[in-house]
Chains A and B, each alone.
Chain A
Amino acid sequence: MDSFVAPERCITCSDEGLPMRVTELPRADGIAICSDESGADQEVAVDLLEQVAVGDEILVHAGVAIAMACRPETGRRQERMTA
């Protein structure tokens, strides 16, 4: 029997993007506290986003926020998927 356990996602980085919610505004060093899918707090660099507010949903890759979720330009087809 295989002893290898398949990881949930790429162990570290590759091309994953983790959805997180901003829970504390960024400090002077650009690090904000965000909660991940499991509710755990994570430190995330948000320098690459225009502006973040508490409650914003962001996409995080390798400890850095790369995108803000739920844009106003959300398309017609996308809306069908919204619960």
Chain B
Amino acid sequence: MKFVDEYRDAELGRAVAGEILATVEPGRHYKLMEVCGGHTHSIYRYGVDDLLPENVELVHGPGCPVCVIPMGRLDDAISLSHQPNVIFTCFGDMLRVPGSHGTLLDAKAEGADIRMVYSPLDALRMARENPDRDVIFFAIGFETTAPSTALTLKRAKAEGLTNFFCMCNHVMILPPLRALLESPDLRLDGFIGPGHVCTVVGARPFDFIPVDYNKPIVIAGFEPLDLLQAIQMILQQLKDGRCEVENQYARVVPTDGNLRALEVMSEVFALRPHFEWRGLGFISQSALKLSDAYADFDAELRYEVPGVRVADPKACQCGEVLKGVIKPWECKVFGSACTPEHAIGTCMVSPEGACAAYYNFGRFAREREVV
């Protein structure tokens, strides 16, 4: 298929890997962060890191929307799912994320009417088809996903639906990036920018990374050649002494983003003063809630939720993994108590979580290395 096959060409891949090798300076260690969970998944799935020189290290960032949901929000969601006469809808990955007393899947087994949807528009359809039930959509995701929720709510309002509600957990990628850059724990040389987020917000909002923090960032696509090329472009910037935002994913990312999507988002959402991120703590103005104009659709106003903050399990080191401080396999419970089948931490639940991606694909390469 066009825009897919040409980005998986092995010969081109080898050529770009050769360019990377020619660009790095021997004796210098490079630490690059891929911000997006989709990149983490692609890196392990295609073995991109196997093609890199030993002195180029990839660090996984906080860009998996499932992984950053704190436990307390899951408890709130489970409480909503148990409300009488409610159909609770969410993306499939959320079903297995553990709250403090089980998962949404457990709640479903206990009798809650929880249904997996692929799109918020599916939840809206359920609301139309079940006028005597309240349908709640559990909205998660970065700026990539927020427009689909916003569009759905706009349609619900236009149709005059009074039984459709949203529990909004949409988050934004820039505030945690700034928090990471301020963190003394982590020293990074550059960033692989989140391509799909940028289709919505554009490349411009990332200017602060080179301007304020003197780090290069290259917005990248998700095929193996995209990632290899983006890594080469970052290394080239470092070699040339440049520091700027470059757009490797220009085939879909415009400089100014998707203005229509941004307009719908600004109508439907408002900034939360602060929001808790798993492993990163509370970050100011990093998440969205429904705007006053859409308050009638807010599930948290329609129903009471516990709203209790719950500390992460002690054994779980998702926080350090999300900040890139440790690698997935350095977590005490990785691959033993915590596996994709029985996840303790969120990073093991979503295929885009660093631990699950590494468990599913990367560990085999590492096992070969160790042997």
Contact = CB atoms under 8 A, between A and B. Distances in A.
Interface residues of B, number: 67
B216 interface: no
B66 interface: yes
B116 A15 contact: no
A14 B141 contact: yes
Contacts of B222: 16-17
B122 A81 contact: no
Interface string A1-44: 01110110111111111010100000000000000010000000
Contacts of B341: 2-4
Contacts of A59: 196, 199, 252
Interface residues of A, number: 42
A14 B116 contact: no
Contacts of B233: 77
B250 A45 contact: no
A73 B252 CA distance: 10
Interface in A27-83: 37, 45, 47-50, 57, 59, 61-64, 66-71, 73-75, 77-78, 81-83
Contacts of B197: 15
Given A14-B38, A71-B250, A81 B3 contact: no
B286 interface: no
B254 A73 contact: yes
Contacts of A7: 351
Contact of A9 (B12, B66, B120, B351): B351
A18 B247 CA distance: 19
B161 to A, nearest CB: 14
Nearest to B120: A62
A4 B342 CA distance: 10
Interface in B244-301: 247-248, 250-255, 258, 260-261, 264
Contact of B2 (A12, A14, A15, A57): A57
Contact of B151 (A64, A70, A81): A64
Nearest to B249: A78
- Of the listed residues A9, A14, A61, the one surrounded by the most CB atoms of chain B closer than 10 A to its CB is A14
A70 B225 CA distance: 17
A80 to B, nearest CB: 8
B250 to A, nearest CB: 4
11 contacts: A6-B360, A15-B141, A19-B2, A48-B151, A49-B260, A62-B141, A66-B144, A67-B200, A67-B254, A69-B252, A83-B5
Given A10-B37, A11-B93, A59-B252, 8 more contacts: A13-B141, A14-B37, A14-B351, A45-B148, A50-B260, A62-B118, A62-B120, A75-B247
